[in-house]
Amino acid sequence: MDFPSTIWTVIRNAAADPQGARDQVIRRYWEPVCGYASKRGLSAEDAEDMAQTVFLHVCRDGFLERADRNKGRFRGLLVAMANHLIDSWWRLKYAGGDKRAVVSLDDEGTLAVADAAAKPVDSDFNRLWAENVLARAMERLKEESDRLRTPYHAAVDAFYLKGRSYSEIAAALRVPEGQVRNYVFRGKARLSQLVRDFIREYSGSAEEYAEELRDLGEFLGAEA
């Protein structure tokens, strides 16, 4: 199994293309980090600001180049960074300081984040990550369905996400119910493949890939 463009590949190339690495890290993790900040009690606006702060620290001063895949998954590093900065944010709030100030990360803080990254990833963050992977796959399925003029996305969205029956979908699409079953079957198969394709982006080996798939199934309540 090939892993041509994993997050660790991006990190290895960070020194040569720091802006490209930053863009890819943000694209893959913005929603989970922002959602996690909200889970930690920040308002929507403050959560957006916190996500920017997290990525500012992760993507500057050679931090990506120093990331060690042997110390845990990359999102473990992200959630450790997020927790460090969110804790600082709350301390500033209770002390009456400016919560918008960028919290500095000295060598001691960097080591603390690296050590925390080796711990199991927070379940809330894992769930947000899993939901984001599914959302990205659904978005890609919609793009493909629109381009190819197939009803696969509409059928999967209606049946699995909106809880519509086959008969209701058939009436909406004006096709026989048996055809709807075919649409749902084919759409789910394609969605599953897209999910697996995205999972490869977060995996550096077959073992990591299998582990990520297990996590995804656990948090989405079904096998990907």
Q: What is the DSSP string of 167-191?
A: HHHHHHHTS-HHHHHHHHHHHHHHH
Same domain, 76 and 100: yes
Nearest alpha carbon to residue 199 among 20, 25, 7, 21: 7
Q: Quick check: is 39 in a domain? A: yes
Q: Quick check: is 179 in a domain? A: yes
- Asked if 134 contacts 194 with a C-beta cutoff of 8 angstroms, the reply is no
Instruction: State residue 107's pLDDT score.
Output: 47
Nearest alpha carbon to residue 204 among 34, 31, 69, 46: 69
Same domain, 26 and 130: no
Same domain, 142 and 74: no
Q: Quick check: is 1 in a domain? A: no
Half-sphere exposure at residue 147, Cβ-oriented, CA atoms within 13 angstroms: 6
Instruction: State residue 158's pLDDT score.
Output: 97
Higher-confidence residue of 97 and 20: namely: 20
Same domain, 151 and 95: no
Average pLDDT over residues 36-47: 94
Q: Quick check: is 196 in a domain? A: yes
Q: Per the structure, how many domains does the chain have?
A: 2
Domain with 16, as residue range(s), is 7-120
Same domain, 16 and 80: yes
Residues in the chain: 224
Higher-confidence residue of 15 and 208: namely: 208
* CATH code, domain carrying 137: 1.10.10.10
Same domain, 138 and 214: yes
Average pLDDT over residues 109-113: 53
Instruction: State residue 56's pLDDT score.
Output: 85
Instruction: State residue 57's pLDDT score.
Output: 83
Instruction: Write down which residue in 53, 88, 120 finishes a domain.
Output: 120
Same domain, 130 and 65: no
Weakest mean pLDDT among 18-27, 79-88, 93-102: 93-102
Q: Quick check: is 189 in a domain? A: yes
User: ∠ CA 187-197-210 to the nearest 5 degrees?
Assistant: 110
The pLDDT-based confidence of 108 (bands split at 50, 70, 90) is very low
Weakest mean pLDDT among 40-44, 82-86, 93-97, 109-113: 109-113
Same domain, 111 and 161: no
Cα–Cα separations (whole angstroms), residue 140 to 133, 144, 154, 199: 11, 6, 13, 14
Same domain, 102 and 29: yes
Same domain, 178 and 94: no
Most confident of 32-41, 55-64, 118-127, 214-223: 32-41
- Asked if 2 contacts 196 with a C-beta cutoff of 8 angstroms, the reply is no
Average pLDDT over residues 4-17: 66
The pLDDT-based confidence of 167 (bands split at 50, 70, 90) is very high
Average pLDDT over residues 97-111: 52
Does 94 score more than 50 pLDDT? yes
Q: Quick check: is 2 in a domain? A: no
Instruction: State residue 156's pLDDT score.
Output: 96
Same domain, 68 and 104: yes
The pLDDT-based confidence of 222 (bands split at 50, 70, 90) is very low
Same domain, 181 and 148: yes
